[in-house]
Amino acid sequence: MQVDLRQSWWIRDVEIPTRLVLAPMAGVSVQAFRRQGRRYGAGLVCSEMVSCAGLEHKNERTLGYLRVARDEHPLAIQIFGSEPRVMAEAARMVVAAGADIVDINFGCPVRKVTKTGAGATLLDDADRACAIVEAVAEAAGVPVSVKMRRGLDDGSRTCLSVGPRLVDAGAATLTLHPRSARQMYTGEADHSLTAALVDLVDVPVIASGDITSRARAQAVLATTGAAAVMVGRGAQGNPWVLREIVDGNPDGPSREEVAAELIVFVRETVRELGERRASGFLKKFYGWYLGRGRFPKPFKQELVQLESTEEVVTRLFAAAPGAAELVEQLEAELPDPADEILLDSMPISIYGGG
């Protein structure tokens, strides 16, 4: 049975206009990435994970993750930590910044997160995980979602015992990436677990893992009963895959379209992060955008060697002169930066790219 991916659905009182969710990805999901995802069909976009400890201590870089533009909604801001009280306070802050949904990370397998008792580690401490969800749900006043893995170890089915308890504690939706923390991103996502979780809970379940095409999205939705699918790595430098999944449009982008999207992404990222941070941050994106046979490999290597993002933009215009008109159209559609929600407690230098 074919699922209409353009059909809206609800996370409690928040309407999600399509059944495609853009994943929260550390070092990727900056504002420019999220806004681009919305343009290409993502019904819900998510911030990269934000440290609740960083928010508590008013860390300038952490606070910088909380800038929100009007074209991002509906938006989930993801937080991580291990202390219910601190997580609750972080939830209040991200809601004040404009989050429509507070997402809790119980899935990150990276050592620097799990060693603090956060991320996927909490799947083996269900009582604490439930206490966190309860505290965040009480503090937030907006729907709370939880993103988790199947468990810490290969073959684990912990998600099936913990998931229903998280819903009882106040989670309005669950996202399951059915790989273990030990697997990281190797092997295949076992969506039979997603189907089992759907049967156990009475809230929407989002299926994450190996969603790389419309055919795969349709197969996972049909076999699991999930409300939506989440796309992550497949959308890195490739927003056109979102359009293909939602609309079934198989047409790949022209060189001019690729260059135009990358130029706008570069400029918006510099506006958000400042030239110094953005210059290093963007290097991985050049390969993601220009790969897949879109541009010669030496051109990608040339961009990485350039010292400034202005030089990168100049070379892209030279390589695809027709991109200029497309860039003008894209930038005309961007909202005024003055419309962003700014928290009074944030250092002003964040918004100047400091």
Q: Catalytic residue numbers?
A: 108
Cβ neighbour number for residue 311 with a 10 Å cutoff:
14
Q: Which two tokens stand for residue 93?
A: 């802050």
Listed residue (191, 234, 190, 228) closest to 211, CA to CA: 234
Q: Report H helices in 30-157.
A: 31-39, 52-56, 60-64, 84-97, 111-114, 126-140
SS3 172: coil
Contact 208, 229 (CB under 8 A): yes
Q: Which two tokens stand for residue 264?
A: 């706008």
Q: Report H helices in 227-308.
A: 240-247, 255-273, 275-281, 283-290, 297-305
Phi and psi for 119 in degrees, rounded to 5?
Answer: 65, -140
Contact 298, 345 (CB under 8 A): no
Contact 131, 125 (CB under 8 A): no
Give the C-alpha separation, 261 to 265, whole Å. 6
Q: Which two tokens stand for residue 97?
A: 């910044």
Cis peptide before 74 (omega within 30 of 0): yes
Phi and psi for 133 in degrees, rounded to 5?
Answer: -60, -45
Listed residue (254, 249, 237, 266) closest to 331, CA to CA: 266
From residue 323, give the alpha-carbon distance in Å to each of 38, 256, 257, 259, 315: 21, 5, 6, 6, 12
